Structure 1
């Protein structure tokens, strides 16, 4: 009998059941096959512990140009992007926190994967196949960015794939049937790929076992001045879009596609963001600045096209936007109010960053004339977006 107990205890100890190490000190290193050669480097480190006891890992990827991208498997958050300015100085061009605690305490979706549905759904509900689905209401009377516990607040299973000139982080998550009110078990894969061309590619893939709605995006806040030196009002933006979606007081689209000509929403040619951000315009007042969806002039549906470009004159940094999506939500950090202190003890004031969230239209489930976001069993949701960084010596407006 004593021998049996001793053997059982030895077996359990070998499995680590009685480990005295605290959970936050667990080795979260992800093994990379030695036979795969790459000229990019990948490092992993402990990022923090959730209230549940789960731990988050931080992945740091550096390319030949010394561009450095940090991503955590908590929410798939891009926490840092270091790229050179026109003099070769490396600086961080995205907002966020130095550790997990900041994201857990208060985060307006900094750098995160957003889902199941990016943006707003009116009154927190939609009809699908004759049935009404109530959703979590977390933005006034509306549903925003997937609800109370969206994809930005979960741990994603992550694998590393190294190639000669790129590194991919493959993140997977199972969103269970009726999570936040959405029908169907949704298998989601988001692949971040960093290459030697200073590009961050994001590929989204999803399948479901019940008909549902899906609209995935990334919510990174950009400031190309580097290390958040000032607001983004001197940045110049170009969007290949003839129309945008007007909104009501709850920032829900009215259903109209309005021409940008003769309005502050005309970014068909490069325009300084601050030029008309305070214009006497009803839509500007409703958004507190820009917080609207622009509809792209696409050459071919679903092809990866360059549809936007952002420039910052002092640093010379440029960011090109490629996407397969029909639209982009351009948001100018209007709700940042100085109450958040982020990385390097920087205080994030109003309009200290902007978001370019590629996506389908907000509230599409309640607008049958908008491009459909319905995903059915047997179908595959696929979407791609690329943010590519470069510099130029003289940046025009």
Structure 2
């Protein structure tokens, strides 16, 4: 078990967590971006299973949020504003008329303070960031701490903790795009996904929640027993078409199983298991990716990765009955999501 570090630019450092199985997780202090995850297939071939840029400078823009920590609020906030205690807070409109992923200067663009740690059973990084009152339009001075931990069970745990001196809106996530084929050999359309979810959130044409929670029954959103992504790509259901032929939807977890999501690639034999205490997850199947980005293994393309954005729901700022993103003054926000890299037995 070890942590390697390399200063790649004046203010940017690349850290690599290595476990005793040869699995590696690489991360930048810029945006807490996970640039690479090297994980074994069924034959113990270790290959990269996330999308990342070939050139470091592309992470400074990172319009796709590859691998980044997202905040203050992950997802879209309708009309770029919300109300708290009869006061309206206006945010940057960086996604048409709406606010997306904390704005253009969100946590994905911040230089985080990083403290590596190593012990016999695990290695990791403690990342911390201070967001001042009013940054991005959000109220409250906010201290955020995120810990990435890799152990010898091939588990990557991401733990979040935050405190604010003013009531505010907050839900954090990591925006890695997974592709279990290894080194982007194939797209993710044949990846099989199983979700512990019987409801998802309806979206309008701008990908803004309508306020309705829909049953997955008898739709291509029913992943309870497992389903391939291609079912949603080929579907003519308006919810898939709104998302750009695929999924970009919030699934509410039932929390009736230990694991909330499982992704499998039959060809490589890789399996990714997601456990989390979060109430739901946005599953995004990179519907809007085109061939304009230069990735480590070649050009980007549609449906090349799947994001598993565990979080609460920003729809709660405008609609009743959704998992809240409100953090009260002096309350501690905590969340944890674990990604286990396994193989299909």
Instruction: Please give the per-residue CA displacement for 1:219-240, whole angstroms capped at 9, x wherever unaligned.
Output: 0000000000111011000000
Greater length-normalized contact order (CA 8 Å, ≥ 6 residues apart): 2
Matches within 5 A, 1:1-397: 40-49=1-10, 55-288=11-244, 289-299=246-256, 305-344=258-297, 346-392=298-344
Q: TM-score, normalised by structure 1?
A: 0.85
Runs of at least 5 residues in structure 1 that lack an aligned partner in the other structure: 1-39, 50-54
Tell me how far 1:298 sits from its aligned partner. 1.9
Write the distance in 1 (CA, Å) between the matches of 2:289 and 2:55. 19
- Partner of residue 16, structure 1: none
How far is the alpha carbon of 1:368 from its aligned partner? 3.5
Deviation at 1:105, TM superposition (A): 4.1
Per-residue deviation, 1:276: 3.5
Instruction: Give yes or no for contact 1:204–1:382 (8 Å, CA) kept in 2.
Output: yes
- Is 2:54–2:294's contact at 8 Å kept on the other side of the alignment? no
Deviations 1:195-227 (A, max 9, x none): 101111000000000110101000000000000
In the alignment, the residues of structure 1 paired with residue 294 and residue 323 of structure 2 have an alpha-carbon distance, to the nearest angstrom, of 38
Does the 8 Å CA contact 1:47/1:72 hold for their aligned counterparts? no
Task: Return the structure number with greater strand share.
Answer: 2
1:299 Cα offset (Å): 4.2
Aligned residues: 344
Equivalent residues of 1:183, 1:210 under 8 A apart: yes
Q: Which runs of 5+ in 2 are unaligned?
A: none
Distance 2:216 2:61 in 1: 38
CA contact (8 A) 2:3 2:124 kept: no
Distance 2:178 2:56 in 1: 19
Cα contact 1:48–1:101 (8 A) shared by 2: no
Paired residue secondary structure (1:254): strand
Q: Which ranges of 4 or more aligned residues in structure 1 deviate by more than 3 Å?
A: none
Match of 1:52 in 2: none
Secondary structure in 1 aligned to 2:212?
coil
Distance 2:296 2:25 in 1: 15
1:341–1:348 CA contact under 8 A, matched in 2: yes
TM-score where L is the length of structure 2: 0.97
Q: CA RMSD in A?
A: 1.2
* CA shift for structure 1 position 257: 1.0
Q: CA deviation at 1:175?
A: 0.6
More deviation, 211-220/358-367: 358-367
SS of the residue corresponding to residue 237 of structure 1 reads strand
